[in-house]
């Protein structure tokens, strides 16, 4: 008997444990090339693409997802990471984009894939931080008065100059201190802040996608 649950491709954007509390689904590892082609031969009404491979393997191509969109009775959603990128490319063909990151790419506020790209080893333990989340946490820290505008710009600039597989807060902040020793105290204030106050737009958007599918299922 076919599994009636939605199929969700999920990785570092949101833990499986948190996701399962929101939506009962068939949770799969981040999507790679060929995964969506296999779904053409499976009965499924709802598919959510949140995470996919960028570096460790080839990601699913737009044409793969387009073919699934053409399958009668199937809805495909995207958010957070690769899902947001593919939803922008395929929204005119019916792919449903969800969340702030999708909207920022759709409006051209963001335009680089490495805003959302990270490297990861499994669902919960991954090596790098997404640039969009670094931006978000710098914005919040500035708003809270932890860092000033100048420090925010320096940390963001160093983050952007760092190749995405190596973007970790520890490495980025260490680089900032080496390059700009005069800002050491504010860098350390931000380091202390981020250890207990880290937020994630990618996680927020993943939650929104799951809630959207749950609502659409009725």
Same domain, 104 and 31: yes
Q: Is the pTM of this model over 0.85?
A: yes
Q: Is residue 67 part of a domain?
A: yes
The phi-psi region of residue 145 (left if phi > 0; otherwise alpha if psi is between -120 and 50; otherwise beta) is: left
What span, in angstroms and rounded, lies between the C-alpha atoms of 86 and 185?
41
Question: Using CA atoms in the order 43, 49, 51, 54, what is the torsion angle rounded to 10 degrees?
Answer: 90
Paired residues of 126 in beta bridges: 120
| Enclosing domain of residue 65 | 7-123+201-217
Query: Residue 4 pLDDT more than 90?
Result: no
Query: Residue 158 pLDDT more than 60?
Result: yes
Same domain, 62 and 33: yes
Same domain, 58 and 137: no
Same domain, 161 and 89: no
Secondary element (H or E) of residue 75: strand 75-78
Number of domains within the chain: 2
Query: Residue 127 pLDDT more than 80?
Result: no
Share of the chain above pLDDT 90, in %: 83
pLDDT for res 103: 97
pLDDT for res 53: 86
pLDDT for res 123: 45
Split at pLDDT 50, 70, 90, the class of 218 is: confident
Q: Is residue 91 part of a domain?
A: yes
pLDDT for res 121: 56
Q: Which of 16-30, 53-67, 160-174 has the lowest mean pLDDT?
A: 53-67
Same domain, 89 and 116: yes
Query: Residue 142 pLDDT more than 50?
Result: yes
pLDDT for res 56: 66
Q: Read off the pLDDT of each residue in 128-149 and give the average, rounded to a whole number.
A: 95
Output the average pLDDT for the chain: 92
Split at pLDDT 50, 70, 90, the class of 1 is: low
* Three-state secondary structure call for residue 23: coil
Split at pLDDT 50, 70, 90, the class of 122 is: low
Q: Read off the pLDDT of each residue in 118-124 and give the average, rounded to a whole number.
A: 60
Same domain, 24 and 97: yes
Question: Using CA atoms in the order 41, 42, 48, 52, what is the torsion angle rounded to 10 degrees?
Answer: -50
Same domain, 22 and 102: yes
Q: Is residue 1 part of a domain?
A: no
Split at pLDDT 50, 70, 90, the class of 37 is: very high
Q: Is residue 19 part of a domain?
A: yes
Q: Is residue 2 part of a domain?
A: no
Same domain, 117 and 141: no
């Amino acid at each position: 008997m076919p599994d009636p649950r939605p199929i969700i491709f999920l990785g570092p954007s949101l833990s499986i444990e948190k996701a399962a509390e929101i939506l009962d689904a068939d949770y799969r590892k981040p999507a790679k090339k060929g995964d969506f082609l296999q779904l053409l031969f499976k009965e499924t009404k709802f598919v959510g693409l949140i995470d996919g491979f960028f570096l460790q393997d080839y990601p699913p191509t737009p044409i793969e997802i387009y073919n699934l969109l053409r399958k009668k009775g199937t809805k495909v959603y995207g958010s957070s990471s690769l899902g947001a990128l593919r939803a922008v490319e395929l929204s005119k063909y019916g792919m449903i984009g969800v969340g702030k990151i999708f909207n920022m790419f759709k409006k051209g506020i963001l335009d680089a894939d490495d805003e959302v790209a990270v490297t990861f080893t499994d669902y919960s333990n991954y090596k790098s931080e997404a640039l969009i989340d670094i931006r978000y946490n710098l914005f919040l820290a500035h708003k809270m008065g932890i860092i000033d505008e100048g420090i925010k710009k320096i940390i963001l600039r160093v983050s952007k100059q760092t190749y995405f597989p190596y973007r970790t807060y520890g490495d980025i902040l260490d680089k900032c201190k080496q390059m700009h020793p005069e800002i050491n105290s504010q860098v350390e204030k931000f380091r202390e802040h981020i250890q207990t106050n880290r937020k994630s737009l990618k996680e927020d958007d993943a939650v929104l996608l799951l809630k959207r599918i749950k609502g659409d299922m009725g």
